[in-house]
């Protein structure tokens, strides 16, 4: 079994004097996948992404508990009560984290809607409006915020409407080309294909250990990237959910890659050579069949892909569970 450092060396070639992270930044916008402010300061990413699981984990740490405490104190005597009050507090916590992050990164922060709205188009739109209103109330331009929504049909339709209003969206929990094509047709700003979770599914079902370009998660993002560039879609591709540095360096050249603190650390500590693997110019000459997507074909093709169906559903359940944990914690504080 190779170590992460050996995977990085094997995937990227000979050693250089520059860190692998700095080399990666020459080809790809690096995004921090964390709610930890100190990580962002250390690795200087362009953007940052959060999700309910990361925010819940951050509120368990003393360093960040004050953000939750302040949101509870500020909203405790509001006119709201019960579930509505708790919902409002969570919105304020999410935006407070986002505002802190935007003081560190020069680009954008992704803030996620409630995963329980994943099959509710109007509910997702309403929640996005609430989050953007809070950001704008605090002087943050909507151009610096990406609203994260699950890549269900209903989520994509919500994002399509939000984009028309100038609210930029990050379509998350994305595991297949049909989901990616539907997002591009909806003119969403950015998608987050989940490399590591695709890898997890195939490893569990085949018992095989995948490396380099043969990794199914890497193959999925490579396919989506080529499709977008071939047909001229402006939607950004941001690989996400990595399990090792090999997956990351195999996607050097992707528009963006969102990376956890531990893997950012491994890349920063390595001086292995990183070369550009994905190139917009290469996609032009590829033979790629155009996929026509409407609601019926989307639902059928997604259903026909066991991995994508299972991982999308699982991801929604896990994010929803962490929102419930946060709600229970806040209810206890109230």
What are the C-alpha distances in Å from 334 to residues 56, 69, 119, 142? 17, 10, 30, 31
How many beta carbons lie within 10 A of that of residue 232, not counting itself? Answer: 9
CB 185 within 8 A of CB 225: no
Name the H helices within 207-251.
Answer: 216-230, 245-249
Would you call 148 a catalytic residue per the annotation? yes
The span from the CA of 193 to the CA of 177, in Å, is: 9
What are the C-alpha distances in Å from 56 to residues 5, 39, 92, 228, 318? 30, 17, 14, 34, 12
φ, ψ (nearest 5 deg) of residue 170? -115, 110
What are the C-alpha distances in Å from 104 to residues 28, 29, 107? 19, 15, 9
**Residue of 25, 148, 229, 277 marked active site:** 148
CB 27 within 8 A of CB 274: yes
Q: How many CA atoms lie within 13 A of 51 on its CB side?
A: 24
The span from the CA of 162 to the CA of 168, in Å, is: 7
State both tokens at 321: 């569970």
Q: Any idea which residues carry the catalytic annotation?
A: 148
């Amino acid at each position: 079994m190779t170590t992460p450092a050996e995977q990085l060396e094997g995937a990227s070639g000979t050693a250089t004097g520059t860190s692998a992270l700095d080399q990666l930044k020459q080809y790809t916008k690096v995004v921090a996948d964390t709610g930890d402010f100190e990580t962002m300061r250390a690795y200087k990413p362009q953007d940052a992404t959060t999700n309910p699981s990361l925010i819940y984990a951050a509120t368990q740490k003393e360093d960040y508990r004050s953000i939750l405490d302040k949101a509870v104190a500020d909203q405790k005597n509001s006119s709201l009560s019960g579930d509505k009050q708790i919902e409002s507090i969570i919105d304020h916590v999410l935006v407070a984290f986002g505002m802190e992050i935007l003081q560190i990164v020069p680009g954008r922060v992704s803030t996620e809607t409630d995963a329980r709205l994943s099959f509710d188009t109007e509910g997702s739109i309403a929640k996005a409006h609430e989050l953007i209103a809070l950001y704008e109330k605090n002087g943050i331009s909507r151009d610096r915020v990406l609203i994260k929504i699950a890549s269900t049909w209903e989520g994509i339709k919500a994002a399509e409407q939000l984009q028309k209003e100038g609210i930029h969206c990050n379509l998350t929990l994305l595991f297949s080309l049909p989901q990616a094509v539907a997002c591009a047709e909806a003119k969403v700003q950015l998608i987050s294909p989940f490399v590591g979770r695709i890898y997890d599914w195939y490893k569990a079902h085949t018992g095989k250990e995948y490396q380099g370009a043969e990794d199914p998660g890497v193959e999925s993002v490579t396919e989506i990237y080529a499709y977008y560039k071939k047909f001229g879609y402006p939607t950004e591709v941001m690989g996400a959910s990595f399990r090792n540095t090999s997956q990351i360096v195999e996607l050097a050249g992707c528009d963006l890659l969102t990376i956890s603190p531990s893997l950012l650390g491994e890349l920063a500590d390595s001086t292995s050579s990183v070369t550009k693997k994905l190139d917009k110019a290469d996609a032009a000459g590829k033979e790629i069949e155009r996929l026509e997507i409407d609601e019926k074909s989307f639902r059928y093709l997604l259903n026909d892909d066991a991995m994508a169906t299972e991982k999308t559903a699982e991801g929604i359940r896990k994010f929803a569970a962490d929102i419930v944990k946060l709600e229970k914690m806040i209810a206890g504080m109230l």
